[in-house]
Homo-oligomer: A and B are copies of this chain.
Amino acid sequence: MKIVMIGAGNVATNIAKTLAKIGETPAQIWSRTLASAEALAETVDSCATSDWNSVMKDADVYIVSVKDDAMLDVIEQLCSRCKHGVFVHTAGTMSMSLFTGKAEHYGVLYPMQTFSKQKEVNFRTIPCFVEASDQQTLDIIMELARLLSDNVRELKEADRKWLHIAAVFSCNFANVCNTMAAKILERHGLDFNVMLPLLDETVAKLHRLHPKEAQTGPASRGDVGVVGKHLALLEGDKELSEVYSVLSDYILKNRV
């Protein structure tokens, strides 16, 4: 498969490295900044460009992995020059219809994971969700996705939206609860690292139990006495006490 990568950020880097490992190195990497394209191209032994006119026109697949707010402009630039092949973006929140009227065969390959350039992830375990403009294109994007991951399925945009909201709860909101914990600990001379064994175990439990069954703590025991004491202690911090109150109410009302 002749692949051109559009983008050299966190997602593009992880995709390119994974493809290179199985001998499917992208033929070319485009990035707005040549230095970024070159850095990634060097790592995977590919070619770099930042010039739209130099992007190869005979690729089988163009994988567009750029920031959401650059996506529309990048797709316009790309599709005004390259007409053949399959065009796929990797953004969980963006519609496949970004390509409509600009390309003939297109779709989405959304790898649901939080990526960083520095930390390589095991792509084979990452759930990848695929959508396509037509059956033939779906087959090609599925083939590409299976090069990357053992966990591939089709998912229409209407459901991918909900998947993305769920990921916001599981990842972003869970993480901000840790930010609040860090704030509390640091105020009292304790380092956030002290929480790490508890965090590890909390997630390890979710590999065996549904989160409802894994729930612990005062609210899940219905211990409104402790909940009240905590709220009294947090009284001086309006933001933290609001979060404490809303989440404890939810746990109290939805107890198993």
Q: Which residues of A contact B (CB under 8 A)?
A: 68-69, 93, 112-114, 116, 119, 121, 125-127, 159, 161-182, 184-185, 187-190, 192, 194-208, 210-212, 214-220, 223, 226, 230, 233-234, 239, 242-244, 246-247, 250-251, 253-254
A-B CB contact pairs (8 Å), 14 listed: A114-B205, A116-B205, A121-B201, A127-B194, A162-B233, A165-B233, A166-B190, A166-B195, A170-B199, A171-B217, A172-B251, A173-B247, A182-B211, A239-B253
9 A-B pairs besides A162-B184, A173-B180, A174-B175 with CB distance below 8 A are: A93-B226, A112-B198, A114-B216, A162-B185, A172-B220, A174-B174, A179-B212, A199-B206, A239-B250
**How far, in angstroms, from A233 to B172 measured CA to CA in the complex?**
18
Q: CB-CB < 8 A to A68: which residues of B?
A: 223, 226
Given the known inter-chain contacts A214-B175, A233-B162, A246-B246, please indicate yes or no for A169 contacting B184, CB distance below 8 A: yes
Q: Are B198 and A171 in contact (CB under 8 A)?
A: yes
Given the complex, which residues of B lie within 8 Å of A215, measured CB to CB?
172, 175-176, 179
User: Which B-chain residue is minimally distant from A170 (CB atoms)?
Assistant: B181
CB distance from A139 to the nearest CB of B (A): 23
- Residues of B with C-beta under 8 A to A243: 169, 173, 246-247, 250
